[in-house]
Amino acid sequence: MGAVLGLLLGVGVLLVVQAWTSPQPGWRAPRAAGRLDRLLHEAGMPSVSPTALVTLSLLAAVFVGAVVGLLSRTPPVALAFGVIAGYGPMAVVRGRVRRRRRELAEVWPEAVDNLASAVRAGLALPEALTQLGERGPEPLRPAFSTFGRDYLASGRFNDCLRRLRDQLSDPVGDRVIEALRVAREVGGGDLGRVLRSLSRFLRDEARTRSELEARQAWVVNGARLAAASPWVVLLALSFQPEVIGRYRSAAGVVVLLVGGIGCLVAYRLMIRLGRLPEERRVLQ
């Protein structure tokens, strides 16, 4: 019995020594996500997988192509509308990315103001970030609630900030989080002043960008209307068999191909000329 107790005591001492002497496992960055995965995260749809998005695009292309094929009995026309429908889910996701970025850009100044007030009241930066999960702007609450739980569980501020940045997937959020990281590492009593300056800068930037986007909206809407009009006319012609049947010939296929390429090039050119450059995430 004494030998067993001695063995257990030795094993316990060995485990304690190993726990103190072994290096602490650091936070490992997740595997580099693909382009579709990053796009879905930026759209606020992390639960949707890239495979599901591709599958939905294929189903939309097959379904719309089959319906148009039954109406027009013209395979080239059905294929053209199938390709357009296949891009539909991707267009919806990209639209959600733009709307989410505008929404977050509008609420970030308020969130930074709340941080500055909390720091001025004497809270530490991690606690100030955690309280944004309850009192911050509504679009940001889920991410900061997750940050609070992560920090409570691990106590590793920098690792929790990385996970918060990945969950937000927002260019403005990247800048705010990196500013907070630098302020935390440098320390000192200027954190409140830094946060107030950052809030003022973000508010001015959001106001200026909103004004420019309002002035450029007519260019974007005009480009969409110009690109969609020929295909709406073609869809209307699908109900006239004697007219739509001409697209079964080789000349009709060439017309569809040239028209599709022309619409795509013109649309992309008008969008590039009319839309403001989108801010990229440089701190992924």
Q: Per-residue pLDDT tens for 100-131?
A: 888 888 898 888 888 888 888 888 888 888 88
What pLDDT sits at residue 284?
57
| Residue type at position 48 | V
Whether the CA torsion 172, 175, 181, 183 is positive or negative: it is negative
Confidence of residue 283 (pLDDT cuts 50, 70, 90): low
Is residue 85 situated within a structural domain?
A: yes
Is residue 28 situated within a structural domain?
A: no
d(CA 229, CA 4): 86
- Overall domain count for the chain: 1
Is residue 220 situated within a structural domain?
A: yes
Cβ neighbour number for residue 49 with a 10 Å cutoff: 13
Structural tokens at position 64: 């719309």
| Residue type at position 151 | Y
Cβ neighbour number for residue 24 with a 10 Å cutoff: 6
Q: What domain range includes position 61? A: 35-274
Is residue 50 situated within a structural domain?
A: yes
**Most confident listed range (32-46, 178-192, 253-267):** 253-267
| Residue type at position 105 | A
| Residue type at position 52 | A
Structural tokens at position 280: 């990229």
Is residue 7 situated within a structural domain?
A: no
d(CA 220, CA 206): 19
Higher pLDDT, 25 or 165: 165
Please name the residues in contact with 38: beta carbons below 8 A apart, sequence gap of 6 or more: 169, 284
d(CA 70, CA 72): 6
Is residue 16 situated within a structural domain?
A: no
Is residue 10 situated within a structural domain?
A: no
Is residue 153 situated within a structural domain?
A: yes
The counts of H helices and E strands in the chain are 11, 0
Residue 45 · residue 93 · CB < 8 Å: yes
